[in-house]
């Protein structure tokens, strides 16, 4: 039995390594509105320079239950072990020639061996804050926005603190988000083979995330909070949000949308235990899935049951939840990171957040099926 179990775990690691070690291709779908630092509300000019500066700096806020290390290097300030909830803000560079959906990084194919803010999305600094000052800073950013907005991003498996910060800045910049961009970073190992540990830690982080969301709703004046989770991060978000609503149903009015992107959750568990608690008219729950998601196929192989983000034979359509099939628009190797990399999906999220319109009123989506089994696909 032990030999069989070891073989199963080894097979998982091999499958994940094969699937995740690929290169992303450029997407050819129509682009959403192009965002530059000239019209992005969160850009900070470099040393007070003009718009001709070589890169913009985006400020993002964070909460994390990773351990605080003794390393002062921004990328290594937070580790992979569990810790108490801490808070702070980061500054991230966005190059002037940034391409929407890209997370530019050094490439050996371009003979680039170190990060350059003029060419890459770089975590420039991490500034821890105590809880009081954190919510004071976040509130100031929220109050300066036209709609008193904030979004909170919860990353998935195989993500470091550094990459969570970089991804949040890139998404905020590409969306032209007017408000406070925030991410919650749980102790993912940031490695391919760390999947089993990540599964344990995402369950552990659920209670901490619930407390963070509760504090955020009560200690800021945000009127529109958008929750965005990716992959395994959906496990903590969906259960934390369900627990929050069970504890205080009136808190729903603070949240405008819940976006479940490529969720690595047991589909049956979600339908039976989670959806009845979080799906409703407010906030709108939007599920983005894909039948070409190779990472979720690997997860299904490991768990033996369909994942919520797989829109193949196990497509999940529920009353009060908008299901959007992104299979047709993603051309990446894995088909798993479309929420932040695909232009059509970014465009749809842009209009979902800016206008608050349902799927039937958003450009580029085509209905499939009839109610109550209606879902949406991106038009080619």
> 247-256, 282-291, 325-334: which range is least confident on average?
325-334
pLDDT band, residue 110 (cuts 50/70/90) = confident
Q: What is the pLDDT of residue 48?
A: 40
More confident residue, 256 or 1: 256
pLDDT band, residue 53 (cuts 50/70/90) = confident
User: What is the Cα–Cα distance from 59 to 12, expressed in whole angstroms?
Assistant: 37
Q: What is the pLDDT of residue 35?
A: 43
How would DSSP label each residue in 176-238? T--SEEEEEE-----SGGGHHHHHHHHHHHHHHHHHHHHHHHHHS--SEEEEEEETTHHHHHH
Residue pair 364/378 in contact (Cβ under 8 Å)? The answer is yes
Q: What values do phi and psi take at 289, rounded to 5? A: -135, 175
Q: What is the pLDDT of residue 16?
A: 43
More confident residue, 351 or 282: 351
pLDDT band, residue 313 (cuts 50/70/90) = confident
Indicate whether 212 pLDDT > 50.
Answer: yes
Q: What is the pLDDT of residue 22?
A: 36
Report the pLDDT averaged over residues 207-229: 97
Give the predicted TM-score (pTM) of the model: 0.86
Q: What is the pLDDT of residue 12?
A: 46
Helix (H) or strand (E) holding 27: none
Give CATH for domain 2-378: 3.40.50
Q: Which residue(s) pair with 259 in the sheet?
A: 228, 286
Quick: pLDDT tens for 316-340: 999 999 999 988 886 554 555 666 6
More confident residue, 124 or 15: 124
User: What is the Cα–Cα distance from 217 to 85, expressed in whole angstroms?
Assistant: 16
User: What is the Cα–Cα distance from 208 to 210, expressed in whole angstroms?
Assistant: 5
| Structural domain spans, the chain | 2-378
Three-state DSSP at 74 gives helix
> 74-78, 326-330, 359-363: which range is least confident on average?
326-330
Report the pLDDT averaged over residues 336-345: 70
Q: Which two tokens stand for residue 40?
A: 């992005």
More confident residue, 344 or 164: 164
Please provide the size of the chain in residues: 380
Q: Which two tokens stand for residue 106?
A: 């050094």
Q: Which residue(s) pair with 41 in the sheet?
A: none
């Amino acid at each position: 039995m032990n030999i069989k179990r070891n073989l199963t775990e080894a097979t998982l690691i091999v499958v994940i390594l094969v699937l995740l070690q690929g290169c992303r291709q450029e997407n050819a779908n129509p682009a959403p509105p192009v965002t530059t630092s000239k019209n992005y509300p969160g850009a900070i000019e470099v040393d007070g320079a003009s718009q001709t500066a070589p890169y913009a700096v985006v400020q993002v806020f964070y909460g994390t239950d990773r351990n605080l290390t003794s390393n002062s290097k921004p990328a290594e300030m937070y580790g992979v072990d569990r810790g108490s909830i801490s808070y702070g803000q980061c500054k991230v560079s966005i190059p002037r020639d940034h391409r929407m959906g890209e997370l530019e990084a050094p490439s050996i194919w371009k003979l680039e061996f170190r990060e350059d803010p003029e060419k890459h999305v770089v975590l420039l600094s991490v500034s821890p804050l105590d809880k009081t000052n954190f919510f004071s800073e976040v509130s100031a950013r929220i109050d300066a926005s036209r709609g008193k907005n904030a979004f909170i991003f919860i990353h998935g498996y195989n993500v470091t603190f550094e990459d969570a910060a970089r991804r949040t800045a890139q998404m905020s910049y590409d969306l032209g988000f007017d408000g406070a961009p925030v991410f919650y970073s749980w102790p993912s190992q940031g490695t391919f083979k760390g999947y089993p540990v990540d599964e344990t830690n995402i369950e552990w982080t659920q209670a901490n995330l619930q407390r963070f969301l509760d504090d955020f709703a009560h200690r800021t004046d945000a009127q529109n909070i958008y929750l965005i989770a990716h992959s395994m991060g959906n496990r903590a978000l969906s259960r934390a949000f369900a627990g929050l609503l069970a504890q205080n149903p009136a808190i729903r009015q603070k949240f405008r949308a819940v976006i479940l992107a490529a969720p690595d959750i047991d589909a049956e568990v979600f339908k039976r235990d989670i959806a009845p608690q979080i799906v409703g008219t407010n906030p709108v729950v939007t599920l983005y899935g894909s039948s070409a998601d190779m990472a979720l196929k690997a997860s299904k192989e490991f768990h033996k049951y369909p994942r919520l983000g797989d829109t193949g034979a196990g497509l999940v359509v529920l009353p009060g939840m908008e299901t959007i099939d992104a299979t047709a628009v993603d051309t990446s190797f894995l088909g798993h990171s479309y929420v932040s990399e695909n232009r059509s999906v970014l465009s749809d999220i842009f209009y979902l957040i800016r206008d608050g319109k349902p799927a039937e009123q958003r450009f580029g989506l085509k209905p499939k099926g009839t109610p109550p089994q209606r879902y949406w696909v991106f038009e080619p």
